A and B are shown apart, each in its own frame.
Chain A
Amino acid sequence: MTEITAPAMPVRRPDLSQARLKRRYAAERRFRIYGIVAVLVAVGMLGALLVTIVGKGYSAFYRTDIRLAVTLDPAVIDPAGTKDPDAIMQADYTKLLRDGLRQLFPDVTSREDKRDLNSLISSGADTQIRKMVQADPSLIGQTVTVSVPIGPDFDMLAKGFISRDLPESARRVSDKQIGWYDQLRQQDRVEHGFNWSFFTAGDSREPELAGVAGSVVGTLLTMLVTLSLAFPLAVATAVYLEEFAPKNRWTDLIEVNINNLAAVPSIVFGLLGLAVYIGFFGLPRSAPLVGGMVLSLMTLPIIIIATRAALKAVPPSIREGAYGIGASPLQVVTHHVVPLAMPGILTGTIIGMAHALGETAPLLMIGMVAFIVGVPHGVTDAATVLPVQIYLWADSPERGFVEKTSAAIMVLLVFLVLMNGVAVYLRRRFERRW
C-alpha cells in the first residue's frame, strides 16, 4: 500500500496575473494607438501637402486686370499712314498704354512718380494691344477700352499677398502706389477674371503672364515618344521572357538586369542620356525626343514587370486549348494570351507613364531646364515639361511665381489622378476570375 499523501493545500497568493494582464492590455492599446498615429502622420502629411498646394495655388487661376481707355494714336502706331503690317508690329504700344493710364492721374508729374505709376501695368500688356491692332487695323485713331493685366506687385496686392499693414519700407509697393490702386478700384476699373492665359500662354519672366501651355505640349510630346518606344519594347521583352525564353544563364542575366534597372536612381538615366544620346549621337539638347528616350528607359522595367505578371495570370488551359486546335506557339501568344493579358499590361503601362510624367531629375541632365517661351511644334524642338517648369518656377525669386508653381503642381496632379483613375478603372473593369 502506498501512502497517499494528501495534496498540500494551495497557498493562496495574491493574483499577480491580474496586474500583469492589465499591463499587457495597456501595451496592446498603446501599440494600437501607435499604429493609428503612424497612419495619421502619413495621411496628415498628404493632407498638409495638398492643403498647402491648393491654398497657395488657387489664386493663380484668376487674374487682376485694369480697364483703361487707350487712344490708338496714329502718330505713334503708323505715322506714315501706310497700314504696313511691319510698322504696326513695331509700334510702341507701351507708350499708348501709359498715356491712357496717365490721363486717369493728371496730377502725376514727377519722373519718379511716373515710373511708379507705370508699374501698375504689366510689362507684357503691350502685346495684347498689338495683337488687337494687328487683327483690326481700322481701330487706329479710335479710343478703345481694354482690360490689360496689372503689374505683378499689384496682382499680389489685389490677391492679398502683400499686406497693407506692413511698414512702407518692408513691402514692394509704396503708399502712393496703393493710393492709386485704390483710386482705380473706386472707379471700378479693377477686374478679377479667370486666368485663361495661364493655360494658353508659354513661360514668361513676368509671373502675371506666365502660363503652362508650352510645358503641357512639351509634356505630351515627351510622353508620346516615351510611350511609343517603351510600350512595344517592354511588351516584346516580357512576352519573350515569359513565354519563350529557355531557362538559362542568359535569360537569368536579363531578368536580374531588369529588376536592377527598375531601382537605378533616375538621375543616372539622365547621365546616360547626356553621354550617349547627346554626347555620342549628337541629338539636340532640350528636345522631347531625347527626354522621351531617357524616360522610356526608366519606364521599360516597370512595364516589363507588370506585363510579365499579367501574362503569368493567364491560365495554362487557354494556351493548351489553342495548341489543341493546332496553333503555333507564336499564334497562341499573339491571338490568345496577349489579348487576354492586355488589361493588365495597359494598367502597368499607365502606372509606368504616370511615373515618367512626374520625373524631373534626368530631364535636368539633358538640358530641359532652358527658359523656353514658345510652344514646341515637334519632337526635336526645344521644349520643357511640367515638372521641370515647376522646378524652374519654384526657383524664381518673384513672389508671383509661388502661386504659379502651386497651380502648375495642381495641373500635374490632375493629370496624374486622371491616369491613375484610368488604371484603376481598367483593373476593375477587366478583373476576371478564371
Chain B
Amino acid sequence: MTTAILAALLLLTVIGFTLGKNRSIALAGGNWKKLHSLPSYYGAYVALWCGLPALILFGLWIALEPRILETIIVRDLPVAMIESGQAQLGLIFNDIRNIAVYGVGDRTIDPAVVAAVDHYKSLKTISFAALAVAVLALATLGLGWSQRRVVPDMRARNRVERIVMVLLIACSTLSVLTTVGIVMSLFFESLRFFHAVPFWDFLFGLQWSPQTAMRADQVGSSGAFGAVPLFAGTLLITIIAMAVAVPVGLLVAVYMSDYASRRGRAFIKPVLEILAGIPTVVYGFFAALTMAPFIREVGEAVGLSVASESALAAGLVMGIMIVPFVSSLSDDVMNAVPQSLRDGSAALGATKNETIRQVVIPAALPGIAGGVLLAVSRAIGETMIVVMAAGLSANLTANPLQAVTTVTVQIATLLVGDQEFDSPKTLAAFALGLVLFFVTLSLNLVALHVVRKYRERYD
C-alpha cells in the first residue's frame, strides 16, 4: 500500500525532471548561451522540489502514525481498561493491532476490543488516504511551483548543488545520531531498571538470578540482579581468549613480517583473513560441538571434573577467532618500524630474533598494545561463541573448567522470547548493555588514541 504511494511519488519526480528539463530547453530556444546551467540541472531542480518535501512528509507520517493512532485508540477504550495501567494498555493496543492485521483466529475477544479494532481499521484507512492525498498534493505543488521558477537566468546548478550538499551533511550526521540513539535508548531503559534495582546493588551484587517471580508465591525466582558474576565470567573468558590470541597472533605477525618467504606470506595472509571472516555462530557451533567434548575428555583422562559447557572451550575458540585481529594489527605496526632500525641492529651483529625482540617489538609496542586493546574489546563484546559454548549459569568462579556466563550472553538470553518491556528482567539487559557499551567504548578510545599517536612518530 505504502509502496504504491512511493511509486506514484517516484513517477511524479521523473515527470518533474522531464518537465523542468524540457522547459529550460524551450526557454533557451536553441541558444544554449542563454541558459545558466545545463538543462538537466533545471530538471533536477524541479525533481528535487517535487520529491524531497513529499518524501520527508512521508517519512514523518510513517514514523509518527503508530503513536498517534495508539493515543486515539487508547483514549476511546472503556474506563476499566484505561485504569488497568500503562503496561496493560500497551498489551491491549498490541493485541488490537495484531487482530486488525492478522484477524482474530479462533478465540473470543472482548466486545470493547472488537469495537476498538473496527475503530483502528477505520482510522488506518483514513490515515492512509490522508497520507496519499497529502504526499501527492505536496509533490504536485512543489512540482508546479518550481516548474514556474525555471527561467534561463536561474542558477539551477548552484541551487541543486546546495541541496545535495545539505543531503550529504545530513547523511554524515547520521553516525552521530546513531551513537546518540544508542546512548539514549540504553540510558533511559537503564534508568527505569535502576528504579527497581538500586544502582550499587547492580554493580557490586554477587548474586545473579534474573528470573523474577510472576506470582507472589512462586519459589526459585529470587530476582537478584548483582552483576559481579557476569563481569567475572566475561573477564575470565576474555583472559583465556587473550592468552591464546596474543602469543599466537604476535608470533604469526613476527613470522609473517620477518621470516616468511613471499610465497609463505601469500598463503598465511589469506588463511588468516578467512579466520577473520568466519561468522561467530560457526565458531560457537565448533566450540559447543567439538571443543567442549574434547576438553571434557582430556580433563577426565587426567582426572579433572570438567563441566560440559566450560569457560575454557569458549575462551580457546574465541582466542582463535581473535588471532587475525592481533596479527594483522601487529603486522601493520611492525612493518611501520623503519628498515633502518633493523639494518642498524643487524650491523651490530644481532641475529634476526634479537633484532625483533630488542628493537622491533619495543619500537612497535604502543601500536601492539593498541591492537591488543581493540582485540580485548572485541572479546568482551562477542556473543555467539559464549552463548553456545559457555553456559548460562552465573557462577562466580575463577576455574576455567566450570560453566560461566558473560554480560553479552545475559543480554541475549534476557531479551529472547516475548516479554513485556517493563519487568526488571528485560530492563536489566539494557543496563548490562550500557555497561558493555561504556567499557568497550573506553577501551576503543584508548586503543585508537594509542595507535594513532604511535603512528605519527615515524611519519
Binding site for B on A (CB under 8 A): 24-25, 27-28, 31-32, 34-39, 41-43, 45-46, 48-49, 52-53, 56, 232-233, 236-237, 239-241, 244-245, 251, 253-254, 256-261, 263-272, 274-276, 279, 281-282, 297, 300-301, 304, 328-330, 354-355, 357-361, 364-365, 367, 369, 387-388, 390-391, 394-395, 402, 405-406, 409, 412-413, 416, 420
Residue pair A263, B440 in contact (C-beta under 8 Å):
yes
Residue pair B255, A361 in contact (C-beta under 8 Å):
no
Taken together as a complex, chains A and B put the C-alpha atoms of A64 and B275 apart, in Å, by 34
Instruction: Report chain B residues within 8 Å CB of A301.
Output: 175
Partner of A275, one of B186, B408, B411: B186
Of B280, B282, B283, B354, chain A has the most CB atoms within 10 Å of the CB of B282
Q: Which residue of B lies closest to A243 (CB)?
A: B168
B4 on the A face (CB < 8 A): no
What are 5 pairs between A and B in contact, CB < 8 Å? A237-B168, A265-B382, A271-B182, A354-B277, A358-B278
9 shortest A-B CB distances, which residue pairs? A265-B381, A358-B279, A35-B255, A38-B251, A275-B185, A236-B171, A31-B353, A361-B383, A240-B168
Known: A24-B351, A42-B272, A300-B175. A267 touches B448 (CB 8 A): no
9-residue interface stretch from B108-116, B157-165, B338-346: B157-165
Of B70, B97, B259, B380, chain A has the most CB atoms within 10 Å of the CB of B259
Q: Which residue of B lies closest to A262 (CB)?
A: B444
Residue pair B251, A34 in contact (C-beta under 8 Å):
yes
Instruction: Report chain A residues within 8 Å CB of B139.
Output: none
Instruction: Report chain B residues within 8 Å CB of A269.
Output: 182
- Specify the main secondary structure of chain A where it touches its partner: helix
Interface residues on B, range: 35 or more
Known: A267-B383, A272-B181. A420 touches B175 (CB 8 A): no
Taken together as a complex, chains A and B put the C-alpha atoms of A420 and B278 apart, in Å, by 11
Residue pair A394, B320 in contact (C-beta under 8 Å):
no
Partner of B444, one of A27, A37, A43, A263: A263
Of B189, B274, B285, B356, chain A has the most CB atoms within 10 Å of the CB of B285
Residue pair A35, B171 in contact (C-beta under 8 Å):
no
9-residue interface stretch from B9-17, B122-130, B286-294: B286-294
Q: Which residue of A lies closest to B171 (CB)?
A: A236
Partner of A259, one of B283, B285, B418, B448: B448
9-residue interface stretch from B28-36, B204-212, B295-303, B430-438: B430-438
Instruction: Report chain B residues within 8 Å CB of A297.
Output: 178
- A326 CB to closest chain B CB, in angstroms? 11
Instruction: Report chain A residues within 8 Å CB of B268.
Output: 39, 42-43
B66 on the A face (CB < 8 A): yes
Residue pair A265, B429 in contact (C-beta under 8 Å):
no
Partner of A391, one of B384, B411, B433, B448: B384
- Specify the main secondary structure of chain B where it touches its partner: helix
Residue pair B412, A45 in contact (C-beta under 8 Å):
no
Residue pair A46, B275 in contact (C-beta under 8 Å):
yes
Q: Which residue of A lies closest to B37 (CB)?
A: A328
Q: Which residue of B lies closest to A259 (CB)?
A: B448
B445 on the A face (CB < 8 A): yes
Known: A32-B353, A394-B285. A264 touches B440 (CB 8 A): yes
Partner of B281, one of A36, A260, A391: A391
Residue pair A28, B247 in contact (C-beta under 8 Å):
no
Residue pair A274, B252 in contact (C-beta under 8 Å):
no
- B243 CB to closest chain A CB, in angstroms? 13
B80 on the A face (CB < 8 A): no
Taken together as a complex, chains A and B put the C-alpha atoms of A233 and B175 apart, in Å, by 10
Instruction: Report chain A residues within 8 Å CB of B89.
Output: none
Instruction: Report chain A residues within 8 Å CB of B168.
Output: 236-237, 239-240, 244
Instruction: Report chain A residues within 8 Å CB of B161.
Output: 328-330
Partner of A387, one of B174, B176, B279, B380: B279
Instruction: Report chain B residues within 8 Å CB of A279.
Output: 185, 421
Q: Which residue of B lies closest to A361 (CB)?
A: B383
Residue pair A364, B279 in contact (C-beta under 8 Å):
no
- A140 CB to closest chain B CB, in angstroms? 30
Of A232, A394, A406, chain B has the most CB atoms within 10 Å of the CB of A394
Residue pair B178, A261 in contact (C-beta under 8 Å):
yes
Partner of A330, one of B63, B165, B327: B165
A-contact 0/1 string along B242-284, CB 8 Å cutoff: 0000011111101110010000000010011111011111111
Taken together as a complex, chains A and B put the C-alpha atoms of A259 and B387 apart, in Å, by 27
Residue pair B278, A49 in contact (C-beta under 8 Å):
yes
Instruction: Report chain A residues within 8 Å CB of B327.
Output: 42
Q: Which residue of A lies closest to B279 (CB)?
A: A358
Residue pair A42, B320 in contact (C-beta under 8 Å):
yes
Residue pair B279, A35 in contact (C-beta under 8 Å):
no
Residue pair A361, B412 in contact (C-beta under 8 Å):
yes
Taken together as a complex, chains A and B put the C-alpha atoms of A265 and B376 apart, in Å, by 11
Instruction: Report chain B residues within 8 Å CB of A355.
Output: 277
- A82 CB to closest chain B CB, in angstroms? 26
Partner of B388, one of A236, A266, A281, A391: A391
